[in-house]
Every structure is written in C-alpha cells, then in structure tokens.
Amino acid sequence: MGDVQRIFYFHMGTAWNSFLTFFAVFVAGIAYLITRKSKWDKLGAACAEVGMVFTTIVMVTGSIWAKPIWNTWWAWGDPRLMSVMVLWLMYAAYFILRSSLPEGDKKYKFSAVFGIIAFLDVPIVWMSIRWWRTIHPVVITSSGAELAAEMLHALMVSLIAMTVLCVTLVALRTAQRLNSSLADEVFQQLDQERVSRQ
Amino acid sequence: MSFLFAGYLAVWTIIFLYLVYLARSQKQVNARLQEISDKLRASSDQ
C-alpha cells in the first residue's frame, strides 16, 4: 500500500472512539429514562456530537485511503461503508430531532429513546465485514489483530491518543451544555422574580 | 504521499473546525453568564 497505509492509524483510532461515544449515548439514554436527570441528556448529546465528528473523520479518511487502493472514493454496494453512512445519518437525525423540540422532559425523553435505537447500528457496522461479502479489510479477527508488531504499536499509540482527545472533547462539551442549561434556568428565575416584584 | 497528506490534512481540519465551534459555543455561554451577573448586580443595587 505504501505511505497511504498510515491513514489507517487515524481511521481506526477515530472509528474506535466513535463506537465508544455512541455506546455512551446509549448508556446515557438508559440512565436518563431511569433517573430523569437532565445531566444524562447533556452527556448523551455531547457524546453524540463528538461521535459524529469522529465518524465524519472515519468516512473522509476511509474515502481518501480507498481512492489509490480501490480506485474509487466510495463503494456504494459495500456493507461496511453503507452501514457507517447509515450510522452518520441516524445521529444527524438525532440532532434534527433535538433542534425541533423545546427544552424539557419531552425533548430529553425522545432523544434518549432515539439514541438507544440508533446505537443498534453500531454492532451491525462492526459485524458487517464478517456477515457479508465486502472489500473492506478485516484487521481484527477472532484470533487477534492481524498486524506486524511495529504496526500494532503505532495503532495502540493512536488509539490511546484519540481516546484521550475524545474524552477531553466530551468533557468540555458536556460542561458547556450543563453550564448553558444552568444559565438558562437562573435567567428564567431572575425574570420570574422581576415580574413578581413588579 | 499526496493521499497521505490529504488524509492527515482532513483529520486536523475537521478537529480544528470542531474546536472553533466549541470556542464559539463557550463565548455564548460566557456572554449569558455575564448577562446574569449584570442582572444580579442591577437587582442588588435596587
């Protein structure tokens, strides 16, 4: 493959983290439905956002790698590529749903349920290269990672670095969403106090 | 080599754009907090 093979380290690192963040959306959705605490909604939304950024990177880097290797930017019939595209579209729909509803329990409840359902595509993405005929390479098999030792070390470094970046971005965005929501609540209280005083 | 460069450029561009988005969101939150702080100050002055 030559130099272009090195795209793999970013591709795999971001793919792993997109799965991780979508799993967190799934867990946060369940936690919200059980506890009804809005912090779980903020965490879920932050994870979905970062997951979408990482999935975008996965699709773009995969496409750039595919051009010299497969001689095409995108293989429309490939199950792995199409299931990833469905995943991206589902989380895009998650944000369309969120933006179409006013703040409150209804929005958080619908988002939680949608986040749980959308996660069901993640195992399909993972298994697509094992269940169906595909031109996508299978790197991790039941007998382990089929990589040379040096490549495996580079992959591990990439995975750790990308996970640290991902957790940092999720923490930042969750804090931002929580602060924004808190500011809105305080703002409303101040307005109510002002009206009651008048 | 040009595909490798394009791949890395795409990764960093997407991450950079998301960081810009985060910075803009943070600015909005800060403006909101400043507004609350001004309101509280004004109400305590009254």
List, in sequence order, the alpha helices (H) in A4-148.
7-35, 38-70, 79-100, 105-119, 121-131
CB contact under 8 A, B4 and A6: yes
Answer for the pair A117, A91: CB distance below 8 angstroms, yes or no: no
pLDDT > 80? residue A146:
no
- What residues of chain B lie within 8 A of the CB of A68, using their CB? 3
Chain A residue with minimum CA distance to B36: A187
Q: How many domains does chain A have?
A: 1
The β-bridge partners of A144 are A141
B14 in contact with chain A, both atoms CB, cutoff 8 A:
yes
pLDDT > 80? residue A31:
yes
SS3 call for A41:
helix
Answer for the pair A21, A48: CB distance below 8 angstroms, yes or no: yes
Tally A–B CB contacts below 8 A: 71
Q: Which of B3, B12, B24, B25 to mutate to test the interface with A (most CBs of A within 10 A)?
A: B3
Q: Give domain limits for chain B.
A: 16-46
- What pLDDT does residue A113 have? 97
List, in sequence order, the alpha helices (H) in chain B.
2-45
CB contact under 8 A, A4 and B40: no
- What pLDDT does residue A93 have? 96
pLDDT > 70? residue B46:
no
- What residues of chain A lie within 8 A of the CB of B26, using their CB? 176
pLDDT > 80? residue A1:
no
Answer for the pair A41, A32: CB distance below 8 angstroms, yes or no: yes
Distance from CA of A146 to the nearest CA of B (A): 22
CB contact under 8 A, B33 and A61: no
- What pLDDT does residue B37 have? 86
A3 in contact with chain B, both atoms CB, cutoff 8 A:
yes
Answer for the pair B29, B37: CB distance below 8 angstroms, yes or no: no
CB contact under 8 A, B7 and A64: yes
Instruction: Give me the long-range contacts of A148-157 (CB less than 8 A, separation at least 24).
Output: A154/A9, A155/A8, A155/A9, A155/A12, A155/A13
How high does pLDDT run on average in chain A? Answer: 91
- What pLDDT does residue A167 have? 96
- What pLDDT does residue B28 have? 92
pLDDT grade for A130, boundaries at 50, 70 and 90: confident
A83 in contact with chain B, both atoms CB, cutoff 8 A:
no
Quote the percentage of chain A above a pLDDT of 90. 66
Q: Would strands A140-141 and A144-145 be described as parallel, antiparallel, or unpaired?
A: antiparallel
Nearest to A13 by CA among B33, B11, B18: B11
- What pLDDT does residue B8 have? 93
Distance from CA of B17 to the nearest CA of A (A): 10
Q: What is the tens place of the pLDDT at every residue in B5-22?
A: 999 999 999 999 999 999
CB contact under 8 A, B18 and A64: no
How high does pLDDT run on average in chain B? Answer: 89
pLDDT > 90? residue A3:
no
pLDDT grade for A86, boundaries at 50, 70 and 90: very high
Return d(Cα B17, Cα B24) in angstroms, integer.
11
Nearest to A28 by CA among A96, A142, A111: A111
pLDDT > 90? residue A166:
yes
DSSP summary character for residue A71:
S
Q: What is the tens place of the pLDDT at every residue in A45-82?
A: 999 999 999 999 999 999 999 999 888 899 898 999 99
Return d(Cα A65, Cα A8) in angstroms, integer.
8
Mean local confidence (pLDDT), A116-138? 89
Return d(Cα A23, Cα A32) in angstroms, integer.
14
Chain B residue with minimum CA distance to A187: B36
pLDDT > 90? residue A196:
no
Which domain range does residue A72 map to? 2-197
Mean local confidence (pLDDT), A112-125? 95
pLDDT > 80? residue A143:
no
pTM for the structure as a whole: 0.90
Answer for the pair A26, B24: CB distance below 8 angstroms, yes or no: no
B9 in contact with chain A, both atoms CB, cutoff 8 A:
no
A60 in contact with chain B, both atoms CB, cutoff 8 A:
yes
Nearest to A181 by CA among A65, A49, A38: A38
pLDDT > 90? residue A188:
no
- Please state the ipTM of this predicted complex: 0.87
Helix pair angle (A7-35, B2-45), 10° resolution: 30
